[in-house]
Structure 1
Amino acid sequence: MRVAENLNAALHELMAAERNLYLLGEDVADPYGGAFKITRGLSTRFPGRVMSTPISESAITGVAAGLALSGDAAIVEIMFGDFATLAFDQLLNFAAKSVSMYGSRVPMRMVVRCPVGGGRGYGPTHSQSLQKHFVGIPGLALYEMSPFHDNLAVLTEMLAREEPCVLFEDKVLYTRPMHAVPEPFSLAVENGVARAFLDERPDCVVVAPGGSAPMVLAAMRSLLLEEEIVCTLVVPSRLYPFDVELPDARRVFVVEESTAGGTWGAEVAHQIHQRHWGRLAGPVTLVHSADSVIPTAAHLEESVLVSERTVHRVIMETLRG
């Protein structure tokens, strides 16, 4: 099963299980089924609860927050995650605050799905990874789709938090198979954290969100075969609040597709420094895309986005430097 199929099946199962769950977004109804076909079949199966909306991310998110505030549950599809900036006020000043600002905790069961990331030639305004702009908002939890986490379990956990959640979905993952790691690595998933590893005493640990995991795995394989460097990859389903115990290693890297500056990776590094500074050989190394808008031309886009080659080079230079 490919990641997109797993996500679509998860939405079908959730909608069947919860009669008060609504899904809103632009062009999500059949026959279109969403820009990436993730909502295919839902409006046919659940008429009245899957609604194609006008082009207003603020309005869509506000309606979803209103449904959550009144006791229902809602899932929003933002067609491209770049446009979640238009819903930022609703998330920051309405949805997230509504959990606690009325004197007692109010369940706010809502999920905002955001397709993100480059590698598709969509250009500067349809290719960004904006996760860092949502980190640190009280009452707002952040998750990222990965090929290693079953989407039904992830979405169920998000709704069970009873607070607004954002699910970032890297677009290049939609066509990838679930639970696939290259030889000779093994995969283990426990408590929402996936681990791709060769042995229990790696030369370094790499922490990455789901969208960056395939490139890190490719870099890990080349590092093993060409440099005899053994890495372990850690992929948390929940990005924030971040709470992950790392395997024992003296070098840690965080890879993400966003640009540098106030990032999720910086938050992860801060927590790792607090918990594990005594065992580290040096500070956590952050690996990002270039400080640039994302071009449309394939060769220019490739020069800007973090890549397998970037990860390979940074890890090798850091460990051998």
Structure 2
Amino acid sequence: MTGRRVAEHLNQALHEVLAADPAVYVLGEDIADPYGGAFKITQGLSSRFGERVRSTPLSEGAIVGAGAGLALAGDKAIVEIMFADFVFLAFDQLVNFAAKSTSMYGRPVPMPLIVRCPSGGHRGYGPTHSQSPHKHFLGVPGLSVLELTPFHDARALIEHCLAGQKPCLLFEDKVLYTRRMFHGGVVDDLFRFELAGDGPGAARVHLEGADDYDCTLIVPGGMAHRAVAAMRELLLEHDVLCELLVPARLHPLDLGGLLPRGRHVCVAEDGPAGGTWGAEVAARLHPVLWDRLTRPITLVSAADSIIPAASHLEREVLVHAHTIRLAVLEALA
């Protein structure tokens, strides 16, 4: 029912992308062999592709700036930020240079740039190595925000980003690296999935044969396994039937693959509340679903707190399967 681990799948995707396109470069701190990156996603790339894979000095602004310069000059760049928390140090290069360069010269300018950001907590890395900073990059003209999922083929996702010729942030939940890809339309003994919508689209996880759902869960890719666990508990312990939607592209939002079939909608994400992706999803869905929603859309976010390093305190802050389950039960009560 499951394939290779997400980290292995992503590493293989990068090998295939570089082999297929000699214009692609990879930049980042400590990404060259023998280290192969902090999470080993770039392992083997420098040995195989030589100078097209470069370890860089410790400067996120310089790394993203160099990647954007390569893209502006006609090549393609995949940049790794060691921890997503440090992407704030490249905020100016992303927002004021890369994103704006696509249209501020009086004509469309290709900017095939992907900035990979390992994000999220649940590993005890503490306040500055555990964040999910997605919301700070939503709504920037010219900048797309995506998240790796266990349903979407990573090579197809990377090639989609490069073909779009606009800068993309690709968030990758660190815990997701250790989980396995779903394939063949099978999630587990209960649930099946299919991809819907244009472009990368969204994965729709459902109970085979069901068409009447109490609730639709919508989550980014890193939360997929937690959402599936919540769905399972809700069905087996509370007789509440949910479907799950997991989009690969978070912004610009494509509602084509995100139209829920449930009578209630719950959007869950990592990161604290306030100006979030979940709030954007709710704002876009509310007028479309106005005539059939039975109650307001539920938003589930992390606590309004820095993320502690101590595991027992970290658990109090971050979103878990039981957080989603309790939020759905409270909404339906």
Q: Shorter-chain TM-score category?
A: over 0.9
**Aligned ranges for residues 49-60 of structure 1 at < 5 Å?**
49-60=52-63
> Among 237, 258, 263, which residue is 1:250 paired with?
263
State the identity %: 59
1:298 matched residue in structure 2 = 311
Distance 1:57 1:186 in 2: 40
> Among 23, 44, 48, which residue is 1:45 paired with?
48
Deviations 1:181-209 (A, max 9, x none): 23311111234210111122211101000
1:260 matched residue in structure 2 = 273
Distance 1:278 1:93 in 2: 41
Distance 1:32 1:137 in 2: 34
Counterpart code for 2:192:
S
Counterpart code for 2:303:
A
Distance 1:50 1:266 in 2: 38
Distance 2:109 2:211 in 1: 43
Distance 2:109 2:328 in 1: 45
Unpaired stretches in structure 1, ≥5 consecutive residues:
none
Q: Is the 8 A contact 2:119 2:171 kept in 1?
A: yes
1:284 matched residue in structure 2 = 297
2:215 matched residue in structure 1 = 204
Q: Does 1:104 align with 2:130?
A: no
| Aligned length in residues | 320
Q: What do you get for the CA RMSD once the two structures are aligned?
A: 0.9
TM-score of the superposition, structure 1-length normalised?
A: 0.98
Moved over 4 A (4+): none
Q: Does 1:193 align with 2:206?
A: no
Unpaired stretches in structure 2, ≥5 consecutive residues:
none
Distance 2:211 2:146 in 1: 26
> Among 221, 229, 233, which residue is 2:232 paired with?
221
**Aligned ranges for residues 172-187 of structure 1 at < 5 Å?**
172-179=175-182, 181-187=187-193
Distance 1:223 1:120 in 2: 26
Q: Is the 8 A contact 1:200 1:247 kept in 2?
A: no
2:287 matched residue in structure 1 = 274
**Aligned ranges for residues 109-128 of structure 1 at < 5 Å?**
109-128=112-131
Deviations 1:222-268 (A, max 9, x none): 11011000000000010101113323222101000110000011110
Deviations 1:86-141 (A, max 9, x none): 00100000000000000010000000000000000100000000000000000000
